[in-house]
Amino acid sequence: MELFKNIKQKDWSTMVSRPTIDKEQLDQIVNTILKNVKEDGDNALRAYTQKFDNVDLAEFLVSEAEIQKAKKLVSKELMQAINIAKQNIEKFHKSQFIDEKVIETSVGVECWRKSVAIEKVGLYIPGGSAPLFSTVLMLGVPAKLANCEEVVLCTPSNDQGEINPAILYTANLIGITKIYKVGGAQAVAAMAYGTETIPQVYKIFGPGNQFVTKAKELVQQSGISIDMPAGPSEVLVIADKTGNPEYIAADLLSQAEHGADSQVILLSDCENILTQTLIQLEKQVLLLPRSETAKKALSNSKAFLLNNMEDCMDFSNLYAPEHLIIASNDASKYIDKVINAGSVFLGNYSCESAGDYASGTNHTLPTNGYARNYSGVSLDSFQKKITFQKISKEGIQAIGPSIEIMAESEQLFAHKNAVTLRLKDV
């Protein structure tokens, strides 16, 4: 992890770039996958599953027998932990239901909104070296709360054609029955276009590597909605002199271990905190089973010594991190200064892992700077808002003349006439 000191503010914009694959090569690879799956359906999926996951699958749909077998392989301790997390996630997302009110904008003119579930949604669950059963909770719980009619889940299998038991247990716990053994960009293509086996959906959710993220971005051009660009994971930690270097290093590594293309950033106005954290990083990374992955991510990562906490907040808002940790005893006083971030963790005990698993907030968040204009997944992500209006005779009399004048000024006389005819009758 490289340390930078005395970086001038005018140079910050060059320091916030993320590690990326060559864009032209990435586009070409993913476009080819999308085209092949769209044209050849299940045959293309089998070819890609064999190529990328080293397994030849006769069936993509997970059977009831496989689900029952998986449930026996999950320990009681893990089941209990998943259940606690599920309860907290449900509690937080249930609080997001809104009681929409009918608003009378003028006499006799009533307007309101209605929340309607998106009928068919697809959930992508990473399942390679780190099978994210926690993401099943983060996506499946709000999908079920929203009453989405059809929920399709895609996740890659291992080379034995098996899905991690915890993923199957969690999906079953939530009530998801359509689970398919397909991963990568090809899974996104399958859910976007539909195949002989996998149903087409209207919106696709879930994090993934740069191939998955690019696939999601490209299928939008076919009218398929996505939650957000959610690519390689990232965290930015802002620490003052009251931060704990041991905790900070652990938080940085918790994101670095996700993948070699992950990035972690550390900002501080205290040089001693930076020095001690870098020492802790060197110690702790050696103890991780995913040490080599974390080391590669750290090689793409940076630490900055800035003048003061205000500069740290400004740099963070420019970077727009997926996860923002403010490691300070006074973290709450910086809440109003947070403008761009996916999810924020305040204080020395608010580890990012809590949000990943069990605090209740959603961990599917915008990455790569998209926190400037995207929110994380919520109940609203699985709903669409339909507006209604009801206009009485008194209402059309109240606003009709204004509509006529505006329509005529825009040279849209049919619009005007639709009002004029009604005004004559009342």
Please state whether 320 falls in left (phi above 0), alpha (psi between -120 and 50) or beta: left
Same domain flag for 348 and 332: yes
Same domain flag for 249 and 172: no
CB 125 within 8 A of CB 155: yes
Q: Is residue 16 part of a domain?
A: no
Mean pLDDT of all residues in 141-166: 95
Same domain flag for 274 and 247: yes
Same domain flag for 83 and 150: yes
Q: Is residue 416 part of a domain?
A: yes
Q: Which residues sit opposite 272 in a β-bridge?
A: none
pLDDT (0 to 100) of residue 21: 65
Same domain flag for 360 and 279: yes
Q: Is residue 180 part of a domain?
A: yes
Same domain flag for 416 and 315: no
Same domain flag for 145 and 244: no
Same domain flag for 117 and 240: no
CB 156 within 8 A of CB 181: yes
Measured on CA atoms in the order 24, 30, 34, 39, is the torsion positive or negative? positive
pLDDT (0 to 100) of residue 260: 87
The per-residue pLDDT for range 330-376, each reduced to its tens digit, is 999 999 999 999 999 999 999 999 999 999 999 999 998 999 999 99
Q: Is residue 325 part of a domain?
A: yes
pLDDT (0 to 100) of residue 201: 97
How many Å separate Cα 371 from the centre of its chain? 10
Q: Confidence class of residue 287 from pLDDT cuts 50, 70 and 90?
A: very high
The per-residue pLDDT for range 220-232, each reduced to its tens digit, is 988 999 999 777 8
First to last CA, the chain: 75
The per-residue pLDDT for range 54-91, each reduced to its tens digit, is 999 989 999 999 999 999 999 999 999 999 999 999 99
Q: Is residue 13 part of a domain?
A: no
What CATH number should be reported for the domain holding residue 421?
A: 1.20.5.1300
Mean pLDDT of all residues in 404-414: 97
Q: Is residue 5 part of a domain?
A: no
Mean pLDDT of all residues in 265-279: 97
How many Å separate Cα 45 from the centre of its chain? 24
Half-sphere exposure of 307 (CA within 13 A, CB side): 7
Task: Look over the chain and give the mean of its residue pLDDT values, rounded to a whole number.
Answer: 94
pLDDT (0 to 100) of residue 25: 86
Order the strands of the 383-391 sheet from edge to edge.
103-106, 109-117, 383-391
Same domain flag for 65 and 201: yes
Confidence check: pLDDT of 115 > 90 = yes
Q: What is the pTM of this model?
A: 0.92
What CATH number should be reported for the domain holding residue 70?
A: 3.40.50.1980
Q: Is residue 121 part of a domain?
A: yes
Integer Cα distance of 78 and 269 in angstroms: 40
Give the domain range for residue 239.
232-375
Q: How many domains, in total, are found in the chain?
A: 3
Which residues are known to be catalytic? 322-323
pLDDT (0 to 100) of residue 156: 94
Q: Confidence class of residue 6 from pLDDT cuts 50, 70 and 90?
A: confident
Same domain flag for 177 and 244: no
Same domain flag for 294 and 219: no
Same domain flag for 197 and 338: no
Q: Is residue 222 part of a domain?
A: yes
